[in-house]
């Protein structure tokens, strides 16, 4: 699984806006949940409050009931006492009057009943401390009343009715009874008042409780209604959002379905998840076949070996991390045909993982148009030059007086025609230059160049032109080292264009001053004039094509309007910068800043052997190879591209350069050619290496003892087909004799071409197959094995066997094929090498190469 790196996405792209939507949605959910929780809390609080209020209401009613019961009990007892005493009194009076014993029954029962009631009252009286005095009095009066009645009955019994009447008439009993009545009435009245008071209180409390309950109930209803409304609103919002989403999805589906470009989504395992119908139209795979297939299926891998495909996902992820801008790839259709595509990559975040969206735009037509345009421009330029040569030549001869003096008006006309023919030539040259630069078909040398020397040469070339305008050129240079890495001819072109502009805009007797100085890591060349200056309005468009301050300039100054555009293009290609300062009427200074060449540090005497430079675009393979070499005690530097290799090899010496046949920017064979043409690497040992890794074998290969599909093939050089004499001669560098070439080739014309090219500078021994080659080697030593890679007659088995030879059995290999087929040959070589697995054996011979690198050539092998 690959980390699709979503976290690094800082831009407000699609993924981010999806994230925003999701965050908004989550916020909505959180809000609804909070409202739900809050209303539930409020509802619970209301229920508790209602419960509490009801409970309190219930308790207070209970208390009231108890109180009332209590009060009525007290009053009952008082009533009983009073009635019992009244009955006892009436009975006793009856007895006094009649003397009949049965009238004493109420007194007898009153004695017991009153005692019991008094007792009951005393028991009840603990909660009525206010009645305690009255009750005590009541008890005392009741006892006294009973005692009086008993005394009266006794008196009747003993002294007869009259005595009893006397006692009765003393009215002592009535007084006691009055007191008792008063006490009973007092207590009863107090009880009734207390009961009424309590009832009133309770009624008041009950009313309050009712109000509270009503309030709480209203609150509860409000909360329930409120939260229900909020939830309904949310649900409606969600429904609306779902409808919008459905609409958007529908629109997107329709867009995807009608898109001209293939659009696929890729998961973090590199598998295609969805693809639109255009994908089927472009690549020929059905949507069912694509679902779950590795995205690498849509790409023509470098070398067409399946082993190199899986890093496609890494490439796409890296591209997405770089902003995802369109990059050109070679696509692969189901029928195996290649399809040039521009691929734009975007990242997508979703709840179930990160994804990539890759958009493939078919650029077949554009490619075709580019080729046609380039060919057209090239052809037109060439075809224009041929008649121009005649026109400019004829006019030049006329103008120069080569065929005699012309009458003055004719001379003037011829002069004008000649000047314009020259301008036309410059225009054609400039158009061709800029077209080549912009189509990147112009290769720039990368060699150490001293800018002071460049400035001197530029001045030399322009002195005549300046003199025609009466302008003097001067040079001031620093003592410091002003070397840069680049293409001397192109840099001269930069200064020539700047000088020619400066001269054209300088007054007669003016001076154009060049200066070269070193500013830390930059070499600055300044071209300064004291001319008219650049108008403010023109400064912004100065470096665009056909931009001139004044249309009349073209005619008056004879420029093409392309000079500065070319200057900028060349400076850009040197990783430099162009700038200017100008003041109208005072003059202009142009500054060219180029990265200074960093000198390799002076070598100490006991220095480590130089490292090996590994040129490999595939990171995993480079890692494994570097580790392998480190175990052999060989230090490695890595270059990811051919261009980086060229840059590095100019800056320092390497023990050897290991080159993968297929590189991101170019092929390994053209790199071999260019390394051999460059002075510094003319004799550096070169080796083609392949280590095809799949993700499955990748982890395995990193282990120390794991078998590797590693193949290494020492390559001494690469000749053009038909070969050039000069290149064959250069093979002899470091040998003290003309080189002996064993030419593995079946084709007659190729053999003849080789023999012809090598005549006088090398011995060529042809061999039709590998067996023949071995037979030759058994008889005589050969310096190089030249393999005619473009020879269709050569047996594929021989070529396979060739890459499988143990180290040392064959002389160093020199390939031979047409330069314009390098990419094709490199692919073939990579395939070939994928079939052999030489392991580390060849690489370990690097230790021996240390010496040959010093002498500049391989040792001669053989008997």
Stretch that binds another protein, among 220-228, 346-354, 573-581, 751-759 (CB under 8 A): 751-759
- Written as six digits, the tokens of 328 are 């050109």
Residue 657 burial (CB count, 10 A): 23
Q: Looking at 484-492, 567-575, 631-639, 660-668, which segment touches another protein (CB under 8 A)?
A: 484-492
Question: Rule CB under 8 A: is residue 230 a binding residue for another protein?
Answer: no
Size of the site for another protein (CB under 8 A): 34
- Roughly how many angstroms between the first and final C-alpha of the chain, as a whole number? 56
Pick one of 115, 140, 182, 385: the residue that binds another protein (CB under 8 A): 385
Strands (E), 126-271: 262-266
440 lies in the binding site for another protein (CB under 8 A): no
Residue 588 C-beta: closest distance to another protein, Å: 29
Considering only 403, 440, 540, 778, the residue that binds another protein (CB under 8 A) is 403
Among 113, 279, 305, 381, binds another protein (CB under 8 A): 381
**Residue among 515, 497, 517 nearest 505 (CA):** 497
Give min distance, CB of 445 to another protein, in A: 7
Smallest gap from Cβ 416 to another protein, in A, equals 17
CB nearer to another protein: give 403 or 508. Answer: 403
380 near another protein, judged by CB under 8 A: no
Enumerate residues 661-700 that contact another protein by CB under 8 A: 677
Asked if residues 355 and 4 have their Cβ atoms less than 8 Å apart, the reply is yes
The nearest distance, CB 674 to another protein, in angstroms, is: 9
What is the C-alpha separation between 636 and 724, in angstroms, rounded?
33
Please state the closest distance from residue 725 (CB atom) to another protein, in A: 6
- Point out which span in 166-174, 246-254, 664-672, 752-760 binds another protein (CB under 8 A): 752-760
Comparison of 441 and 600: residue with beta carbon closer to another protein = 441
Whose Cβ is closer to another protein: residue 232's or residue 726's? 726
| 101 vs 756 by CB, closer to another protein | 756
Number of Cβ within 10 Å of residue 255's Cβ equals 11
Residue closest to 67 by CA, chosen among 200, 174, 183 = 200
- Distant-in-sequence, close-in-space partners of 477: CB < 8 Å, separation ≥ 6: 452, 455, 515, 516, 517
The token pair at 481 is 């080292």
- Cβ 437 to another protein, closest distance in Å? 11
Please tell me whether residue 436 binds another protein under the rule CB under 8 A. yes
Q: Does 402 help bind another protein (rule: CB under 8 A)?
A: yes
Told to check if 724 binds another protein by CB under 8 A, we report: yes
If binding is defined by CB under 8 A, does position 727 make contact with another protein?
A: yes
The total of other beta-carbon atoms located within 10 Å of residue 351's CB is: 6
Choosing from 90, 389, 579, 600, the residue that interacts with another protein (CB under 8 A) is: 389
**Interacting positions 754-773 with another protein (CB under 8 A):** 756-757, 759
Q: Does 298 bind another protein (CB under 8 A)?
A: no
Query: DSSP code of 604?
Result: P
User: Which residue reads 């060699």 in tokens?
Assistant: 447
**Cβ-based nearer residue to another protein, 562 or 660:** 562
Computed on alpha carbons and rounded to an integer, the radius of gyration of the chain in Å comes to 58
SS3 200: helix
Alpha helices in 450-511 (DSSP H): 451-468, 488-504
**Residue 392 within binding range of another protein, rule CB under 8 A:** yes
Q: How far apart are CA 689 and CA 692, in angstroms?
A: 10
Other Cβ atoms within 10 Å of 81 Cβ, number: 27
Q: What tokens appear for 460 in the block?
A: 């030399």
Contact status, residue 803 vs residue 832, Cβ threshold 8 Å: yes
Concatenate the DSSP letters of all residues of 682-720 into one string: SSS-EEEEE----HHHHHHHTSSSS----EEEEEEEEE-
- Minimum CB separation from another protein for residue 393, in Å? 4
Q: Is 394 in the site for another protein (CB under 8 A)?
A: yes
Q: Which is nearer to another protein, 248 or 389 (CB)?
A: 389
**C-alpha angle with apex 836: 831 to 838, nearest 5 degrees?**
135
CA 709-714-720 angle, 5° bins: 120
Residue 759 beta carbon to another protein: minimum distance, rounded to whole angstroms: 8
Pick between residue 422 and residue 623 the one whose CB is nearest to another protein. Answer: 422
Q: Which of 66, 119, 419, 489 touches another protein (CB under 8 A)?
A: 489
Nearer to another protein among residue 198 and residue 378 (C-beta): 378
Q: Which of these ranges, 145-153, 284-292, 345-353, 396-404, lies near another protein under the rule CB under 8 A?
A: 396-404
SS3 380: helix
Tokens standing for 462? 């322009």
Q: Closest Cα partner for 670 from 697, 641, 693, 694? A: 641
Is 423 one of the binding residues for another protein (CB under 8 A)?
no
Q: Please tell me whether residue 340 binds another protein under the rule CB under 8 A.
A: no
Distance CA(282)–CA(334), nearest Å, equals 9
Tell me which of 50, 73, 291, 388 binds another protein, using CB under 8 A.
Answer: 388
Q: Which residues sit at the interface with another protein, rule CB under 8 A?
A: 381-382, 385-390, 392-394, 396-397, 400, 402-403, 425, 429, 436, 442-443, 445, 487, 489-490, 677, 722, 724-727, 756-757, 759
């Amino acid at each position: 699984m690959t980390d699709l790196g979503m976290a690094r996405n800082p831009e407000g792209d699609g993924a981010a806006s999806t994230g925003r939507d999701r965050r908004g949605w989550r916020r909505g959910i959180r809000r609804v949940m909070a409202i739900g929780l809050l209303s539930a809390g409020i509802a619970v609080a209301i229920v508790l409050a209602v419960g509490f209020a009801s409970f309190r209401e219930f308790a207070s009613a209970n208390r009231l009931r108890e109180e009332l019961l209590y009060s009525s009990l007290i009053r009952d007892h008082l009533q009983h006492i009073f009635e019992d005493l009244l009955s006892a009194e009436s009975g006793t009076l009856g007895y006094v009057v009649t003397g009949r014993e049965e009238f004493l029954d109420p007194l007898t029962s009153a004695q017991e009943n009153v005692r019991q009631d008094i007792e009951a009252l005393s028991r009840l009286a603990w909660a009525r401390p206010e009645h305690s005095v009255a009750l005590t009095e009541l008890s005392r009066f009741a006892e006294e009343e009973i005692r009086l009645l008993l005394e009266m009955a006794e008196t009747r019994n003993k002294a007869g009715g009259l005595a009893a009447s006397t006692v009765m008439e003393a009215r002592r009993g009535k007084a006691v009874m009055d007191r008792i009545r008063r006490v009973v009435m007092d207590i009863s009245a107090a009880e009734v008042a207390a009961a009424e008071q309590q009832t009133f209180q309770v009624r008041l409390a009950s009313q309050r409780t009712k109000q509270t309950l009503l309030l709480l109930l209203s609150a509860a209803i409000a909360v329930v209604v409120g939260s229900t409304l909020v939830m309904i609103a949310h649900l409606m919002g969600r429904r609306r959002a779902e409808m919008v989403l459905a609409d958007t999805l529908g629109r997107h589906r329709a867009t995807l379905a009608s898109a001209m470009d293939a659009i696929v989504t890729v998961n973090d395992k590199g598998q295609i998840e969805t693809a639109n119908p255009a994908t089927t139209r472009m690549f020929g795979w059905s949507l069912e076949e694509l679902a779950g297939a590795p995205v690498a299926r849509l790409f023509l891998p470098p070398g067409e070996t399946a082993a190199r495909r899986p890093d496609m996902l890494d490439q796409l992820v890296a591209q997405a991390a770089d902003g995802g801008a369109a990059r050109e790839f070679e696509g692969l259709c189901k029928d195996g045909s290649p399809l040039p595509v521009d691929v734009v990559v975007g990242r997508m975040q979703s709840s179930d993982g990160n994804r990539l969206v890759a958009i493939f735009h078919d650029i077949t037509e554009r490619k075709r148009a580019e080729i046609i345009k380039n060919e057209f421009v090239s052809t037109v330029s060439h075809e224009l030059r041929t008649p121009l040569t005649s026109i400019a030549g004829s006019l030049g001869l006329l103008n120069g007086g080569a065929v005699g003096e012309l009458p003055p008006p004719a001379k003037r006309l011829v002069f004008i025609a000649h000047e314009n023919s020259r301008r036309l030539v410059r225009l054609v040259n400039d158009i061709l230059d800029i077209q080549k630069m912009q189509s990147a078909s112009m290769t720039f040398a990368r060699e150490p160049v001293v800018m002071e020397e460049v400035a001197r040469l530029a001045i030399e070339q322009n002195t005549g032109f300046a003199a025609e305008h009466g302008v003097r050129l001067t040079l001031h240079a620093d003592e410091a080292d002003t070397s840069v890495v680049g293409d001397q001819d192109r840099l001269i072109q930069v200064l020539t264009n700047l000088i020619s502009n400066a001269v054209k805009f300088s007054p007669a007797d003016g001076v154009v001053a060049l200066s070269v100085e070193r500013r830390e890591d930059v070499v600055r060349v300044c071209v300064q004039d004291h001319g008219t200056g650049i108008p403010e309005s023109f400064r912004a468009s100065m470096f665009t094509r056909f931009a001139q301050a004044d249309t009349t300039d073209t005619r008056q100054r004879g420029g093409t309007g392309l000079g500065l555009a070319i200057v900028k293009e060349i400076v850009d290609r040197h990783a430099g910068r162009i700038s200017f300062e100008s003041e109208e009427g005072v003059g202009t200074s142009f500054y060219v800043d180029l990265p200074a060449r960093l000198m390799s540090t002076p070598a100490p005497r006991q220095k480590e052997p130089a490292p090996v430079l590994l040129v490999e675009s595939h990171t995993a393979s480079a890692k494994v190879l570097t580790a392998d070499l480190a175990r052999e005690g060989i230090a490695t530097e890595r270059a990811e591209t051919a261009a980086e290799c060229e840059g590095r090899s100019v800056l320092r010496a390497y023990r050897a350069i290991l080159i993968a046949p297929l590189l991101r920017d170019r092929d390994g064979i053209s790199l071999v050619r260019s390394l051999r043409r460059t002075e510094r690497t003319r004799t550096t040992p070169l080796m083609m290496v392949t280590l095809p890794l799949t993700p499955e074998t990748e982890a395995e290969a990193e282990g120390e003892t794991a078998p590797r599909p590693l193949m290494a093939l020492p390559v001494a050089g690469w000749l053009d087909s038909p070969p050039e004499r000069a290149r064959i001669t250069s093979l002899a560098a470091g040998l003290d004799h003309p080189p002996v070439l064993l030419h593995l080739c079946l084709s007659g014309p190729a053999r003849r071409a080789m023999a012809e090219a090598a005549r006088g500078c090398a011995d060529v021994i042809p061999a039709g197959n590998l067996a023949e080659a071995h037979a030759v080697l058994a008889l005589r030593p050969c310096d190089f094995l030249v393999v005619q890679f473009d020879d269709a007659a050569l047996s594929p088995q021989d070529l396979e066997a060739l890459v499988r030879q143990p180290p040392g059995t064959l002389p160093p290999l020199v390939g031979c094929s047409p330069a314009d087929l390098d990419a094709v040959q490199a692919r073939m070589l990579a395939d070939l090498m994928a079939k052999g697995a030489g392991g580390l054996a060849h690489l370990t011979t690097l230790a021996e190469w240390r010496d040959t690198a010093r002498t500049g050539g391989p040792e001669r092998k053989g008997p």
